[in-house]
Amino acid sequence: MANLITTLDPASRAASRGWSDTTIRNVFVIPTVAFLIIFNVFPLLYSLGFSFTDFRASSKAPVNFVGFKNYINVLADPVIWRTFSTTLWYVIVSVTGQFIVGFGLALLLNRPLPFKGLLTTLLMLPMMLSPVVVGLFWKLIYDPSWGILNYALGLGPVAWLSDANLALYAVAITDIWMWSPFVMLLSLAGLSAVPKHLYEAASIDRAGKLYTFFRITLPLVAPILLIAVIFRTMEAFKTFDIAFVMTGQPAAELISSRLYKMAFQQWQTGPSSALAYIILIMVLCITNIYVKYLNKAKER
């Protein structure tokens, strides 16, 4: 190898050594940081400014500074309050469902099975589809007149998506169907990393299946499960596409849909920026709490 390098010309020798730190900085780091500043940091700060004004993107009227008025109005709006409660309930139902289904599937797949690879790939298909496509697809499944769900369950013409009591659960079921494979994938990674000798030791000690599950499997998989729950909780709070495509039922309106309506249908740019910041603060709090407990789990 040393002989080969010494026979190369200087440029090739430099290439074989790799790029210098300055080149890497100029080619990769600076463009990435510039991109992030232009498309992430700048809009973030710009919308923070909007949240303190009465700016409307559809109007040329002069912009006035209104202080915290937008935040006060948003928090005093009963429709937004109801939407927050609906979103929390949706997150609880959806993430719990994904966790149960995803972890259950991972436990089933974490054993010798014929066609295991094919089965895993097929189970992961929903996650790879576009959320809008999934929403439209499930809208057909839920159709009260000729949808396959009512037919398969032998129900009458149940209007899943226009019934105020069912619409939210119908959207949550779709989200569970779509994102359980994500939880399954992470859980499967965690389960396959559990050392086999622990199970052997447990079986020598005549530990029961439940005892082995709660004392060996669950504690060792917990950190990775927590990561899955973090991701899914944050995503569920921001759910927009599936719910927006599937139903216009006010009882199933999520906070992102309300934000979209305020910002791009009613053109209340200032108040919608304030609402976006409230959601951001909430998501940051959730992330911090989860990361704190994730670090604690790692230390154990």
Partner 1 sequence: MISPQFNQKYFGPASITLMVAGIVFLCQPWVEFLHAWSVLVMLIGLIGFNISVHIPAPEQAVDEDDTGPVSIAQTVGMGGGHD
Residues that bind partner 1 (CB under 8 A): 71-72, 75-76, 81-82, 84-85, 87-88, 278, 281-282, 284-286, 288-289, 292
The smaller minimum CB distance to partner 1, of residues 86 and 187, is found at 86
- Find the shortest distance in angstroms from Cβ 280 to partner 1: 10
93 closest CA partner among 232, 294, 293, 289 = 232
Q: Which is nearer to partner 1, 39 or 68 (CB)?
A: 68
The least CB distance from residue 260 to partner 1, in Å, is: 19
User: What gap in Å lies between CA 267 and CA 55, rounded to an integer?
Assistant: 9
* Contact between residue 49 and residue 66 where contact means Cβ atoms under 8 Å apart: no
Residue 60 belongs to what H/E stretch?
none
Q: How far is the CB of 85 from partner 1 (least distance, A)?
A: 4
Nearer to partner 1, 61 or 76 (CB): 76
Which residue number, 221 or 274, has a Cβ lying nearer to partner 1? 274
Closest approach, Cβ 67 to partner 1, in A, equals: 14
At 53, is the secondary structure helix, strand, or coil? strand
- Length of the chain counted residue by residue: 300
Of 216 and 286, the one with the shorter C-beta distance to partner 1 is 286
Quick check: 237 and 286 in contact, CB under 8 A?
yes
Residue 135: HSE in the Cβ half-sphere, 13 Å Cα cutoff: 16
Which one, 205 or 299, has the nearer CB to partner 1? 299
Distance CA 237, CA 234 (A): 5
How far is CA 229 from each of CA 71, 220, 255, rounded to the nearest angstrom?
Answer: 29, 15, 20
Q: Which is nearer to partner 1, 84 or 169 (CB)?
A: 84
| Distance of closest approach, residue 74 Cβ to partner 1, in angstroms | 9
Least Å distance, CB 281 to partner 1, is 5
Cα atoms in the 13 Å half-sphere on the side-chain side of 183: 27
Give least dist CB 169 to partner 1, A. Answer: 17
Closest by CA position to 240, among listed 102, 126, 135, 143: 135
Closest to 159 in 3D by CA, of 240, 25, 249, 263:
249
The one-letter amino acid code at 102 reads G
- DSSP of 116-157: HHHHHHHHTHHHHS-HHHHHHHHHHHT-TTT-HHHHHHT--S
Closest separation between CB of residue 77 and partner 1, Å?
10
Considering beta carbons, is residue 24 or 72 the nearer one to partner 1? 72
